[in-house]
């Protein structure tokens, strides 16, 4: 048993070393090809997925002109049964990939250690940061790794099967970042034009190359609400109005309001570690105070990629069915997110 483990460990080590050599050479190639250092400081305009020059070679990283493997002339960089886009993106955004962002494990991997990414991960999240990181499996995530052509229902959107969607990394991110947004997020989402209110975020100075301290600035309810349209209810008292929604009529919790002004919520200062938030784990929009109003947004309660939170609550889905099997990307176990604000 021990011997077998030892052998596995050794084999793992060899594979790791081989991979590191490979990565080293790939990083070099990538740096030359894109003309940008992999460890460039965070500014949106210098981000890797946009601002291509007229004589760019970068297209060839992801596309093949006469011998592509998938739709949109995509090269499947990674082997597997997942959709083409996923296999293109995670080639670089995985453990040991060319980017510091390993989205499969929800990690930011830097020279000084491994940190938890603010979006969470698709398979795992980081529970202990540092030189010897600890990971935990996710309990729910946006399902982006289905095979080509798999369509799914979007909660809070059209229940007509003709409007189910194929969910991929490119449903939310624009690989070319033509709109020059934070995190290369799309401004045309699910056919909805949100370019007037693009999602914006800041990363605190000094944390860019490591433990990125993200503060969400604006546009987040519009971004998530472009797909989950019925859930974006911003009117006061929406929790009393059972007629809300285009695709299904229910009363829904409001978003887009300043919770410190509401008598029913905790009378905290709402400022923790210089950010305005009801708990260290639950950010409000405009949480670093650079914009006028702190607001409740989708990401106050949810992660964007995946969570390790547990759930035993049976709840109603927007299609009228009920389930207890999903932790719905929540930041805290069960309905811990409610108590943080309401403390009943």
Comparing CA positions, the residue from 80, 105, 76, 100 lying closest to residue 89 is 76
Among 23, 63, 110, 207, binds ligand HEC (CB under 6 A): 63
- Residue 169 engages ligand HEC in binding (rule: CB under 6 A): yes
- Report the residue number, 10 or 338, with the smaller CB distance to ligand HEC: 338
Backbone angles phi, psi at 167, to 5 degrees: -95, 120
User: Rounded to an integer, what distance in angstroms lies between the CA atom of residue 2 and that of residue 92?
Assistant: 34
Stretch 240-259 residues interacting with ligand HEC (CB under 6 A)? 240, 253-255, 257, 259
Q: Which long-range contacts (CB under 8 A, 24 or more apart) does 241-244 make?
A: none
Comparing CA positions, the residue from 75, 79, 72, 80 lying closest to residue 60 is 75
- Measured from the CB atom, the residue of 1 and 263 that comes closer to ligand HEC is 263
- Shorter beta-carbon distance to ligand HEC: residue 11 or 315: 315
5 or 314: CB nearest ligand HEC: 314
Choose between 5 and 320: whose C-beta lies nearer to ligand HEC. Answer: 320
Stretch that binds ligand HEC, among 6-14, 123-131, 165-173, 285-293 (CB under 6 A): 165-173
| Cβ–Cβ < 8 Å for 152, 228 | no
Nearest approach, Cβ of residue 295 and ligand HEC (Å): 9
Place of tokens 């409740």: 296
- Residue 298 binding ligand HEC, by CB under 6 A: yes
Region 171-230 residues binding ligand HEC, contact defined as CB under 6 A = 171-173, 175-176, 182-185, 189-190, 214, 221, 223-228
Site for ligand HEC contains 155 (CB under 6 A): yes
- Alpha-carbon distance of 111 to 114, in angstroms, equals 8
Q: Which of 17, 61 has the CB closer to ligand HEC?
A: 61
- Which two three-digit tokens encode residue 196? 């007037």
Is residue 329 within the footprint of ligand HEC (CB under 6 A)? yes
Q: How many angstroms separate the CA atoms of 285 and 87, rounded?
A: 32
CB 199, CB 73: distance < 8 Å: no
């Amino acid at each position: 048993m021990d011997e077998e483990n030892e052998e596995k460990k050794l084999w793992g080590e060899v594979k790791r070393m081989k991979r590191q050599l490979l990565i080293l050479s790939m990083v070099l190639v990538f740096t030359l090809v894109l003309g940008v250092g992999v460890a460039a400081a965070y500014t949106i305009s210098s981000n890797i997925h946009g601002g291509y020059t007229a004589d760019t070679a970068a297209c060839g990283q992801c596309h093949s002109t006469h011998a592509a493997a998938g739709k949109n002339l995509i090269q499947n960089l990674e082997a597997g049964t997942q959709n083409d886009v996923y296999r293109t993106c995670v080639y670089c955004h995985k453990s040991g990939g060319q980017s510091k962002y390993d989205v499969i494990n929800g990690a930011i991997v830097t020279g000084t250690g491994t940190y938890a990414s603010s979006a969470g991960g698709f398979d795992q999240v980081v529970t202990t940061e540092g030189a010897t990181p600890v990971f935990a499996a996710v309990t729910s995530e946006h399902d982006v790794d289905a095979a080509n052509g798999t369509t799914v229902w979007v909660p809070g959107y059209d229940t007509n099967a003709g409007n189910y969607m194929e969910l991929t990394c490119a449903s939310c991110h624009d690989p070319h970042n033509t709109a020059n947004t934070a995190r290369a997020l799309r401004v045309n989402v699910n056919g909805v034009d949100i370019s007037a209110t693009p999602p914006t975020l800041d990363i605190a100075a000094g944390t860019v190359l490591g433990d990125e301290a993200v503060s969400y600035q604006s546009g987040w309810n519009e971004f998530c609400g472009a797909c989950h349209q019925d859930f974006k209810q911003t009117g006061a008292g929406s929790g009393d109005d059972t007629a809300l929604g285009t695709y299904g009529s229910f009363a829904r919790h409001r978003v887009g309001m300043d919770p410190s002004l509401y008598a029913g919520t905790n009378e905290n200062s709402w400022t923790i570690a210089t950010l305005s938030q009801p708990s260290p784990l639950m950010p409000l929009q405009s949480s670093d105070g650079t914009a006028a109003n702190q607001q409740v947004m989708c990401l106050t309660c949810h992660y964007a990629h995946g969570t390790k939170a547990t759930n035993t609550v049976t709840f109603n889905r927007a299609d009228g069915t009920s389930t207890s099997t999903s932790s719905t990307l929540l930041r805290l176990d069960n309905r811990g997110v409610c108590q943080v604000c309401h403390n009943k």
